[in-house]
Structure 1
């Protein structure tokens, strides 16, 4: 009988189901809107009991304001920026990158990286990603953009939001098994949405994608569907069994040095007392005033001067046009808009506002705010402007947010 562990994880339940015997594969499973991992405990135990060697990790999403729920705070992997799930709204959500998805994406990648680090003999090629409803979205969002192919993707009663904005890796997707299960009587996420995803993914080169319909099934999981899910997981485990464990470091890179807030960065307003109706809204950093230590943030055509405590970073703009996202605890970030992992020598955008740290010769400047002016590739150092015609040439390790 597989053992079940429940980790409070800062008040957000994290379920881990350890396999009996040898650990040969891992399934990351994500719940739907307003739920938690506890809501899927019994079905996941059923899957684990019938798939020897499978470890299951089920985290719980953060609580955020959700537009489709009238702005009410719910557990969600991203915002659903629509009034309803009617056909036109579904079509719109399928085309647009969902707000606040990067933060959850980073959190998932950190979980995956931790698992790869602790269990190097179960490589990415033996890891599956699955989810129900909105959890299906974050499962696919993660798996389809990995630098290497995972074992498989399982989508249950869900759609993938913002498919055109995905950076699909053709060599990964063309041979990636994807099972999409959906009920024809689903009144929450219409079956039509699954059919749209089917067309988009096949046009995007996901050749092993299968949409399986269940006549009369609503927005739920049926015994027939669970049986198909278990069969799919077993097939993926069998097919990936030959994938060798590297015994080395994981393939995903999460970098923690050189974090800054350049212009163009997306932020989420979190604790604005003077205008509470803006809390939860997305804003864009357009400038910084060092004297006041305030950022200029554009929110719905209104420009405000805000302290960093009034917002959290949604994504960070990088010099090459890519972006990165901040982890939930604010300590690290990963590149999310290109296929390559973020390296520690990534060029940061000119104009970034940073805070100095760890300087020895220039110790009096530690803690001071400076503006990033230029990058010298030959020396690997940045030119920072401290104001009053004072400049420093330093490495990325000597500045942070």
Structure 2
């Protein structure tokens, strides 16, 4: 299947029906992951690799989701033009747009928007690049998930819930209740639950 990923080749060979190239191209297509289900990140989503133990050299790399395998529960992520690796949701962070909320010590931060750069598993914080710099010139800050509002439609993985069966579930934010500081998340098992901002990671 690899040879058909070279620029120009797929089109050229696929253009002749009945040729081996054309058939090979189709077969290659069949092996690829299908369009991701609603709880998985869409194809083309920009992600950052994190917390890999065996292939730690990939940590911190930016990649794009190429597909999702339901059987394996892993995303195919292209991290270099020639490297695609299969990764679990827990090893990926989406670079999504967020709004900052609920910081009592620095209320002037609340309402600011930014983009998630990565998530640090060791200190439990997102690194977020702010749209506008702070007075001290900094534009990257570390924030706990409780202080970060993710947009509707963001794909998330649940964490830290007292009901163990709901932890580590993939889902999609379908609604946000700002007053209660809770998301409604539609989980991969079809259930929709209301949980605190701190209980999901993008």
Choose between structure 1 and 2: higher helix proportion: 1
Choose between structure 1 and 2: higher strand proportion: 2
TM-score relative to the length of structure 2: 0.46
TM-score relative to the length of structure 1: 0.26
